[in-house]
Amino acid sequence: MNFELDEYGDRLDRTRERMRAQGIDTLIVTDPANMHYLTGYDGWSFYTPQGVVVPVEGELLLFTRAMDANGARLTTWLEDRQILGFPEDLVQQRDRHPLQWVAGELTRRDLAGGAVALELDSYFFSPRAYEALRAGLPGARFSDSEQLVNWVRAVKSPAEIELMRRAARIMERVMRAGIDAIEPGVRQCDAVATIAAAQAGGTEEHGGDYPAIVPMLPTGVGTSAPHLTWSEAPLRSGEATVLELAACHRRYHCPLARTVYLGDPPRRLLETARVVEEGLEAAKPGATCEEVEAAWREVAARGGVAKESRIGYAVGLNYPPDWGEHTMSLRPGDRTVLEPNMTLHAILGIWGDAWGIEISECFKVGPTGAETFCDFPRELFVKR
């Protein structure tokens, strides 16, 4: 486990406080990041149904594939009686589903009725899983948890902040390795291999974990599309390459994006870079997410730059396919009030019809403003 038992106890208390406020009797958590947050569970088993059952009173239960039950015993603080492994003959079958078995286990434990909240917008909870659970628990009143545990995670503990700081030290090495690898004639896949080695190798003090998103490496006209990865094509002079990367340590992420230009960059790219380098000054306790975005938009407008998409989002603990926490976003209409030790990724990306640039920072809300995790130059990198 990454944390002391007292910290897990505090997380559970705050989760149950929100459950009571929302009138929830039983919460079923299927997002692997939320499972990890409450129990410490850590395994690449989220391709099959799994989850944590949180009754408003009583013991937690973790259900997973039987072959993964030992993984739960090794990584969580739970007792054996709280770990339920569903039989192998339920895995990926057309005529039966593991959540039918889970429903039976909940019925035997008097958890079959009342208000049951589900993570209905989780990547890991399918419509078929929902139908199996609903059929198996006819006396339950189902509702959406509305990212309940995600919001409990929004303010990080000192121990969580320390893991993100370690990830930041790894991230500095990762970004330096990536920028150094961007040279004319180097295959994109070879540059990514260098990046991946730095992500896994970490620092001398702390090893790296696999990040929730693979390296993003759009290049040339591909920089107009923010979520491209890489190919075997060589990098070319006269083109930009975006590196949107993250380092991960014990499942806690520190993302960072920079842009590299091979040759003499066009004026448009240089002018845009100057604009996107600014804008974190408004991220202070008491400010709202939309106020931070509005402050940057004002700076951007003076530089002739407009951006329709959000400029940031909560980040921290996660698993594939996303390092974002799915709660607050730096965008118009989000009136979430920033609190100390909230952690966000401000990604100031501009994407045109045939070009783009990204410069981002991962930061925590400090007593007086944004405190970036990484110590890395915030600029357009030009290699002539």
pLDDT reading at 175 higher than 70: yes
User: With pLDDT > 70 as the criterion, what percentage of the chain qualifies?
Assistant: 99
**Backbone torsions φ then ψ of 378, nearest 5 degrees:** -100, 90
Task: Supply the CATH number for residue 11's domain.
Answer: 3.40.350.10
Q: pLDDT by residue (tens digit) across 231-289? A: 999 999 999 999 999 999 999 999 999 999 999 999 989 988 887 776 667 788 899 99
Q: What is the pLDDT of residues 347-364, one digit of tens each?
A: 988 898 899 999 999 999
- Looking at every residue in the chain, the average pLDDT score rounds to 95
Work out how many domains the chain is built from and give that number: 2
- Does 73 lie in the same domain as 210? no
**Same domain? 190 vs 331:** yes
Residue for token pair 């990547």: 123
User: CA triplet 146, 148, 154: central angle to 5 degrees?
Assistant: 120
Contact 348, 359 (CB under 8 A): yes
Lowest mean pLDDT among 167-176, 195-204, 257-266, 301-310: 301-310
Q: What is the pLDDT of residue 280?
A: 66
Same domain, 177 and 233: yes
The reply to whether 228 and 287 lie within a common domain is yes
Domain C-terminal end among 133, 152, 171:
152
- Asked whether residue 67 falls in the same domain as residue 181, the answer is no
Q: Give the burial class of 56: count Cβ atoms within 10 A of its Cβ; 0-12 exposed, 13-18 middle, 19 or more buried.
A: middle
Residue 278 sits in which domain range? 158-383
Query: Are both 112 and 186 inside the same structural domain?
Result: no
Of 125, 152, 179, the one marking the end of a domain is 152
pLDDT at 306: 82
Q: How far apart are the first and last CA of the chain?
A: 47
User: Is residue 168 domain-shared with residue 127, that is, in the same domain?
Assistant: no
pLDDT digits (tens, 9 = 90+) for 63-101: 999 999 999 999 999 999 999 999 999 999 999 999 999
Q: Give 195-230 pLDDT, tens digit per residue.
A: 999 999 999 999 999 999 999 999 999 999 999 999
**Which of 225, 222, 153, 235 has the alpha carbon at shortest distance from 191?**
235
- What's the whole-number mean pLDDT along residues 25-43? 98
**pLDDT band per the 50, 70, 90 thresholds, residue 28:** very high
Based on the fold, state whether residues 279 and 328 are members of the same structural domain.
yes
Last residue of a domain, one of 152, 172, 189: 152
Segment 320-327 mean pLDDT: 98
β partners of residue 372: 363
Q: Taking Cα atoms as reference points, which of 77, 75, 52, 81 lies closest to residue 64?
A: 52
* Domain co-membership, 104 together with 76: yes
Residues 206, 342 within the same domain: yes
Distance between CA atoms of residues 135 and 337, nearest Å: 40
Cα–Cα distance measured from residue 61 to residue 39, given in angstroms and rounded to the nearest whole number: 10
Task: Judge residue 310's burial from the number of C-beta atoms within 10 Å of its C-beta, 0-12 exposed, 13-18 middle, 19 or more buried.
Answer: middle
Q: Is 277 helix (H, G, I), strand (E, B) or coil?
A: coil
pTM, 2 dp:
0.96
* Residue 279 confidence (pLDDT): 60
The CATH number that applies at residue 271 is 3.90.230.10
- pLDDT tens figures, 9-21: 999 999 999 999 9
208 and 352 inside one domain: yes
What pLDDT, on a 0 to 100 scale, did the predictor assign at position 273?
Answer: 87
270 & 328 share domain: yes
Bridge pairing between strands 83-86 and 140-144 = unpaired
